[in-house]
């Protein structure tokens, strides 16, 4: 029938049901159920229902199962949390929960879980745990209660407090009914992820239950045996629960650890047994338990025998006819490759993985093969793996080409013994997949060439030869233009690569390139003027041409004009100074590696592999330039002459007319280095060398308005406050801003004092806290407005309440606007709210510290930094800074008494993150090595960055 006929029929039925509900004759329970069921069906067909809700609620009070069932079903589907009937519904649910009838209790619990609203959580979060742990509750009701509580905890965790029932729910793992155990395991796993300490007793019970399942025969658990595999779903859940905790300690619970090892060995042994059924359901259940057991072995990373056995078992799956098994095997082996115990075992399967890369039909399996090759790579096989990846790249799917390019670039740099091989590899990479070579890759090769004198001549010769090809990718032109502009003189002695030949070769590509590349080539030409005076007239003719001086693109036109003028009026000495060779880049994390991590996302197998192992010397390559646009107009602060380094100002007290805030703080700074007028504006973005973009850029004179800075000011930077809570944040001739703050767990309170140092009122005084969109999700700030008028010589106070929701890296900005003497004033400073403020110190014995240290050994959990000491290496000052940072200073823990060891917990609203730190000073070299291990990668990185700045 037609849509119109359906609507007509439904409208007729709705009218009939409405008349029945409104009729004088009372409907019996069966009729109510029938009509409510019809309304539910009509709603599921896609039509709006605006009546019948009260009748459905009335069905809840029926004593018949079928009527009550339809009532709950209708409510679960049609009633929202804002309904006026929610109170009546809650009363009916409470009656059913109190009835102790397991059928009615099950219906009520299912309804609560299906709706799962905040109102439901508020009404029943206290009742359901009582049902769950009560001794007289039927097994079916316990199952429903556990799953219902799990649903409410996932939707409204803050409304489900873990109380006395938490310890009792753990003992459900010993329940005789496996359905109750399965539901309870799901609940405990979720709760343990948030509060591991409260549920750590579940480890021994989970191991005990798992042991009984694994060692039982399929006939022992008939009701829960699935195709000859005893309780596979429960086994998987128990194994996942155990992954919430480190391996049981041998000295504390040796029996538990031994029993768990036996369980895992038994699971691996069963995988070798011939299948008891040829049906796919049997192999799926059996392999589900096996892969979860391997995940637990990888998570513990403490049993070499199990890790190698797991690797061998996965190796058998690499050639299995089932595609899903091959995929899972490759994925799990990526994680195994990051373990020092199993890395060599993984490497034995390299030929199989390479064959999979070439022959697999499924692109997702091929991608996992690329991941595994990347993870198993070390110095012994780097050249083979890079060659295979380059070979595959020519025919690789477009969706994974960029990722393969990044991995080849990282491996070539990381394991390059001969840097000529590295240069050849990257140029070959650009030739094969130039469109997928990101800026980070060619920035990196330029950076390494600049930082290594031994490869500069070879690089210049190689790019010159590569540019002679009839068709070159634009990225190759960029690399060639930059390297020849810096080091073309190293090959100019050969007549085949004379200066004029180099220039003509580059200029032949000029008109085929985009604007950014043309801009870079113009910068190369002016470099040639300095390197090769004999080609100066030729280059000036090019710069003088109408196509350059009247170019439609303002950037190219400006460069042509400025470069032409520079080459005309500047003396040889000035040219040599302005266009001198690029200095080495400063040390920085490889941006290629950062890009790959961002592309793969946190928590992936790539994150596991990075930084965990290095089977040879440190990573090759030099420092990393920050990417920037080659087309950007150089700013006045670009510091092309290398004059940007500001000499340190002598330390002294900040200029102050009144010392308004000194009496407020007990540990305010005694001396703060002031900046010269306008110096902060002039040099905020300057560095010791050229901008990191491979682009010499034109010379520009700083604008005069940059020197029109504010009055002399003292602005304390964020690192000063990392280990202190009180002090003067900002001071100039008008205003002084002081801070006094206190923090406890994930909460904090900051008092901000604004002092008017003049005798004139501040009008329209408006301080505003500014957080980025990303920061707002991690940090909650609450404050009240202050009086808009601040009298001369007066001080006003503002209180900021702080809550750390989750870990963060940015800092909020405090913006103050006011009028002084008719002039609008605007001040912005960063508030020193950093992640370490939510540190709570934790005392640990030496044995506990190093046991926990070993457990936090996966690569994403450790960050290490080696750096020069910026301040005198005084032991007492170092201890004070570590304590001020928030961690407990653990005495007599490290075998080396000169080292400093600390421990603490970062508290956020959502989780608690344990942190261990170790600071190793080298007085002779005046250097430190700082190692941080936490359970979260971003926290390790942020804390390491903050603490490194203190020494």
Residue ranges of the binding site: 20, 30, 34-38
Q: Which of 647, 652, 655, 591 is nearest to 624 (CA)?
A: 591
Question: Which residues fall within 8 angstroms of residue 611, CB to CB, at 6 or more apart?
Answer: 859, 860, 862, 863
Query: How far apart are the C-alpha atoms of 620 and 413, rounded to whole Å?
Result: 6
**Contact between residue 292 and residue 236 where contact means Cβ atoms under 8 Å apart:** yes
Tokens 């007066």 correspond to what residue? 794
Q: Which of 492, 560, 491, 486 is nearest to 530 (CA)?
A: 486
Please count the residues of the chain.
951
The sheet that has 762-770: what strands, in order across it?
A: 762-770, 813-820, 823-830
Q: What are phi and psi of 747, to 5 degrees?
A: -115, 150
Q: CA Rg, the chain, in Å? A: 35
Structure tokens at 259: 């029993």
Q: Which of 829, 836, 821, 681 is nearest to 759 (CA)?
A: 821
Secondary structure, 3-state, 776-814: HCCEEEEECCCCCCECCCCEEEEEEEEEECCCCCCCCEE
**Contact between residue 240 and residue 206 where contact means Cβ atoms under 8 Å apart:** no
**DSSP category for residue 618:** S
**Contact between residue 718 and residue 764 where contact means Cβ atoms under 8 Å apart:** no
**Contact between residue 812 and residue 833 where contact means Cβ atoms under 8 Å apart:** yes
**Contact between residue 112 and residue 150 where contact means Cβ atoms under 8 Å apart:** no
**How crowded is residue 383: how many other Cβ atoms within 10 Å of its Cβ?**
18
Q: What are phi and psi of 469, to 5 degrees?
A: -65, 145
* Distances 207 to 193, 214, 241, 612, 839 between C-alpha atoms, Å: 18, 10, 10, 29, 33
Query: How far apart are the C-alpha atoms of 842 and 846, rounded to whole Å?
Result: 13
Query: How far apart are the C-alpha atoms of 187 and 172, rounded to whole Å?
Result: 11
**How crowded is residue 532: how many other Cβ atoms within 10 Å of its Cβ?**
19
* H-only helix segments in 341-381: 343-347, 350-359, 363-376
Q: Which of 944, 758, 728, 738 is nearest to 835 (CA)?
A: 944
Q: Give Cα 247 to chain centroid, integer Å.
A: 25
**Contact between residue 373 and residue 388 where contact means Cβ atoms under 8 Å apart:** yes
Q: Which of 923, 757, 748, 705 is nearest to 834 (CA)?
A: 748
Query: How far apart are the C-alpha atoms of 943 and 938, rounded to whole Å?
Result: 9
* H-only helix segments in 60-138: 65-78, 86-98, 102-115, 118-124, 128-133
Indicate the SS3 state at residue 484. Answer: helix
Query: How far apart are the C-alpha atoms of 389 and 353, rounded to whole Å?
Result: 11
Query: How far apart are the C-alpha atoms of 906 and 934, rounded to whole Å?
Result: 9
* Distances 499 to 148, 403, 474, 581, 885 between C-alpha atoms, Å: 78, 38, 21, 17, 57
Query: How far apart are the C-alpha atoms of 446 and 461, rounded to whole Å?
Result: 14
Query: How far apart are the C-alpha atoms of 299 and 49, rounded to whole Å?
Result: 51
If residue 681 lies in a helix (H) or strand (E), which one and from where to where?
helix 679-683
**How crowded is residue 85: how many other Cβ atoms within 10 Å of its Cβ?**
14
């Amino acid at each position: 029938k037609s849509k119109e006929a359906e609507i007509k029929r439904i409208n007729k039925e709705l009218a009939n049901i409405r008349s029945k509900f409104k009729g004088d004759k009372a409907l019996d329970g069966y009729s109510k159920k029938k009509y409510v069921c019809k309304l539910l069906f009509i709603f599921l067909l896609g039509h709006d229902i605006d009546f019948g809700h009260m009748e459905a609620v009335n069905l809840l009070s029926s004593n018949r199962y079928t009527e009550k069932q339809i009532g709950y079903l209708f409510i679960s589907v049609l009633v929202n949390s804002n309904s006026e009937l929610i109170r009546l519904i809650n009363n009916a649910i409470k009656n059913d929960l109190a009835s102790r009838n397991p059928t009615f209790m099950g219906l009520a619990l299912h309804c609560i879980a299906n709706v799962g609203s905040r109102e439901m959580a508020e009404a029943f979060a206290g009742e359901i745990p009582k049902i769950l742990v009560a001794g007289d509750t039927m097994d079916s009701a316990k199952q429903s209660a556990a799953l219902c509580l799990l649903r409410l905890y996932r939707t409204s965790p803050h409304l489900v407090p873990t109380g006395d029932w938490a310890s009792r729910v753990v003992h459900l793992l010993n329940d005789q009914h496996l359905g109750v155990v399965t539901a309870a395991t799901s609940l405990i796993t979720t709760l343990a992820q948030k509060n591991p300490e409260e549920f750590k007793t579940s480890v021994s019970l989970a191991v005990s239950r798992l042991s009984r399942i694994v060692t039982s025969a399929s006939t022992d658990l008939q009701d829960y045996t699935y195709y000859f595999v005893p309780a596979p779903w429960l086994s998987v859940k128990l194994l996942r629960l155990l992954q919430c905790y480190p391996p049981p300690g041998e000295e504390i619970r040796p029996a538990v650890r031994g029993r768990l090892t036996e369980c895992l060995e038994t699971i691996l042994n069963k995988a070798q047994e011939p299948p008891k059924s040829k049906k796919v359901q049997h192999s799926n259940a059996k392999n589900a338990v096996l892969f979860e057991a391997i995940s637990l072995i990888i998570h513990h990373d403490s049993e070499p025998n199990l890790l190698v056995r797991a690797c061998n078992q996965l190796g058998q799956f690499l050639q299995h006819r089932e595609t899903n098994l091959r995929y899972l095997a490759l994925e799990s082996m990526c994680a195994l490759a990051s373990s020092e115990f199993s890395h060599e075992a993984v490497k034995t399967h390299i030929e199989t993985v390479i064959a999979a890369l070439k022959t697999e039909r499924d692109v997702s399996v091929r991608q996992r093969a690329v991941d595994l090759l990347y993870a198993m790579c070390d110095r012994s096989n780097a050249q083979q793996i890079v060659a295979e990846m380059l070979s595959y790249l020519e025919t690789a799917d477009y969706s994974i080409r960029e990722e393969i390019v990044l991995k080849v670039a990282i491996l070539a740099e990381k394991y390059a013994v001969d840097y000529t091989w590295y240069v050849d590899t990257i140029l070959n990479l650009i030739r094969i997949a130039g469109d997928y070579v990101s800026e980070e890759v060619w920035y990196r090769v330029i950076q390494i060439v600049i930082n290594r004198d031994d490869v500069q001549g070879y690089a210049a010769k190689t790019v010159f030869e590569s540019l002679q090809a009839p068709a070159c990718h634009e990225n190759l032109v960029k690399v060639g233009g930059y390297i020849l502009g810096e080091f073309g003189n190293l090959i100019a002695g050969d007549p085949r690569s004379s200066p004029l030949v180099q220039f003509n070769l580059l200029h032949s590509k000029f008109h085929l390139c985009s604007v950014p590349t043309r801009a870079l080539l113009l910068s190369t030409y002016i470099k040639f003027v300095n390197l090769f005076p004999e080609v100066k007239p030729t280059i000036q003719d090019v710069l003088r041409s109408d196509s350059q001086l009247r170019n439609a693109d303002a950037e190219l036109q400006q460069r042509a004009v400025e470069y032409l003028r520079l080459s005309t009026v500047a003396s040889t000495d000035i040219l040599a100074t302005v266009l001198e060779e690029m200095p080495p880049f400063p040390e920085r994390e490889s941006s290629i590696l950062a890009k790959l991590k961002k592309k793969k996302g946190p928590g992936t197998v790539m994150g596991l592999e990075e930084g965990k192992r290095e089977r040879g010397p440190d990573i090759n390559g030099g420092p990393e330039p920050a990417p920037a646009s080659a087309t950007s107009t150089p700013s006045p602060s670009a510091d092309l002459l290398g004059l940007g380094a500001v000499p340190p100002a002598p330390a002294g007290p900040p200029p102050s007319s009144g010392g308004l805030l000194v009496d407020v703080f007990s540990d305010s700074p005694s001396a703060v280095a002031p900046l010269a007028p306008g110096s902060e504006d002039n040099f905020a973005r300057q560095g010791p060398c050229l901008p990191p973009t491979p682009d010499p850029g034109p010379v520009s004179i700083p604008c005069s308005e940059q020197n029109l800075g504010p009055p002399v000011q003292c602005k304390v930077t964020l690192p000063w406050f990392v280990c202190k809570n009180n002090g003067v944040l900002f001071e100039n001739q008008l205003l002084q801003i002081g801070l006094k703050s206190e923090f406890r767990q994930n909460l904090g309170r900051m008092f901000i004092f604004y002092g008017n140092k003049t005798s004139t009122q501040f009008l329209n005084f408006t301080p505003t806290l500014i957080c980025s969109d990303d920061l707002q999700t991690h940090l909650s700030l609450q404050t009240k407005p202050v009086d808009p008028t601040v009298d001369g010589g007066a001080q006003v106070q503002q209180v900021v309440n702080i809550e750390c929701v989750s870990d963060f890296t940015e800092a909020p900005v405090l913006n103050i606007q006011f009028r002084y003497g008719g002039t609008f004033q605007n001040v912005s400073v960063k508030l020193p709210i950093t992640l370490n403020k939510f540190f709570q110190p934790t005392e640990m014995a030496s044995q506990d510290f190093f046991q926990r240290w070993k457990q936090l050994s996966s690569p994403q959990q450790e960050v290490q930094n080696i750096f020069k000491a910026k301040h005198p290496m005084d032991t007492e000052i170092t201890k004070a800074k570590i304590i001020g940072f928030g961690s407990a200073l653990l005495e007599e823990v490290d075998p080396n008494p000169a080292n400093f060891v600390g421990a603490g917990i970062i508290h956020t609203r959502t989780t608690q993150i344990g942190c261990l730190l170790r600071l190793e000073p080298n007085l002779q070299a005046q250097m430190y090595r700082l190692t941080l291990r936490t359970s979260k990668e971003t926290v390790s990185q942020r804390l390491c960055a903050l603490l490194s700045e203190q020494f």
